[in-house]
Amino acid sequence: EPEVTQTPSHQVTQMGQEVILRCVPISNHLYFYWYRQILGQKVEFLVSFYNNEISEKSEIFDDQFSVERPDGSNFTLKIRSTKLEDSAMYFCASSYANELFFGEGSRLTVL
Amino acid sequence: QKEVEQDPGPLSVPEGAIVSLNCTYSNSAFQYFMWYRQYSRKGPELLMYTYSSGNKEDGRFTAQVDKSSKYISLFIRDSQPSDSATYLCASGEVEGGKLIFGQGTELSVKP
């Protein structure tokens, strides 16, 4: 069964460093997303991406964040200068229409 | 007012019980509704997807939507210890659009 894959599963970084989280969405899907979940809190929308551009972003997704689909398969989230409060699970998701399928997540720890 | 509200629990039931999980939402523009299951430190797994008022059944799971009262439910029949997880409801407005998640209800099914 096709699935969304994410790397790395866990990344530890120092405050102020740049981080890139990678995702391979399901191959025939059209919409791509990043969500995050701070420990013990709800899953929060960050950004959606369609037709090679951002279609919607939340207020969390400020200038420190960027997304890219550099080739036909990968979808990346970059955090330019990490802050302590960026520590969270980051989930990539993809959909063909309305049903979103999530990856297992990348746990980011900022020290 | 939170757009999607869900009692966080925890909810503990004996094996074989019928479980009822509930959410309310405030945004009348929500058109479709999902239920996800999330095991600890894992990605959300799609269980059910509905887009109209009424019931939808899949095996031991039944999703129910009442748009008039903005109320969504998930019923689990013959609950098993393997059903122990956090259940997330989520709602969205348009195809390809963001999902808004509830807090999640932690369910424990005791053998």
Residue A109 vs residue B9, higher pLDDT: A109
CA neighbor of A77 nearest in space, from A41, A39, A42, A103 = A103
Name the residue facing A97 among B45, B88, B95 (closest C-beta): B95
A65 to chain B, any CB pair closer than 8 A? The answer is no
Residue B2: pLDDT above 80?
no
Give average pLDDT by consecutive 10-residue segment, chain A, 111 residues: 92 98 95 95 96 94 94 92 97 93 97 97
Contact list, A100 vs chain B (CB under 8 Å) = 34, 46, 99
Task: Let me know how long chain A is.
Answer: 111
Q: What does the DSSP assignment read for B76-106?
A: ESS--GGG-EEEEEEEESSTT--EEE---EE
Distance from CA of A78 to the nearest CA of B (A): 20
Distance from CA of A98 to the nearest CA of B (A): 5
- What's the confidence (pLDDT) of residue B9? 86
Name the residue facing A98 among B42, B43, B92 (closest C-beta): B92
A58 to chain B, any CB pair closer than 8 A? The answer is yes
Q: Is the dihedral of CA A17, A66, A68, A8 positive or negative?
A: positive
Backbone angles phi, psi at B59, to 5 degrees: 65, -125
- What's the confidence (pLDDT) of residue B21? 97
B10 to chain A, any CB pair closer than 8 A? The answer is no
Beta bridge partners of A31: A50, A95
Beta bridge partners of B95: none
Give contacts of B 26-45 with A, CB under 8 A: 32, 34, 36, 41-45
- What's the confidence (pLDDT) of residue A71? 86
CA neighbor of A55 nearest in space, from A75, A71, A32 = A32
> If you measure CA to CA, which chain B residue comes closest to A94?
B96
Strand B54-58 relative to strand B99-101, pairing: unpaired
Contact list, B98 vs chain A (CB under 8 Å) = 33, 45, 48, 56, 58
CA neighbor of B40 nearest in space, from B108, B111, B110, B99 = B108
- How far, in Å, CA of A98 to CA of A92, rounded? 15
Cβ neighbors of A72 (< 8 A, separation 6 or more) are none
Q: B15: which 2 tokens?
A: 């094996």
Contact list, A4 vs chain B (CB under 8 Å) = 43
- Position B97 confidence tier, pLDDT thresholds 50, 70, 90: confident
Backbone angles phi, psi at A82, to 5 degrees: -70, 145
- Contact yes or no for B104 and A50 at CB 8 A: no
- What's the confidence (pLDDT) of residue B1? 63
pLDDT in tens, B14-44: 999 999 999 999 999 999 999 999 998 899 9
- How far, in Å, CA of B72 to CA of B33, rounded? 8
- How far, in Å, CA of A32 to CA of A5, rounded? 13
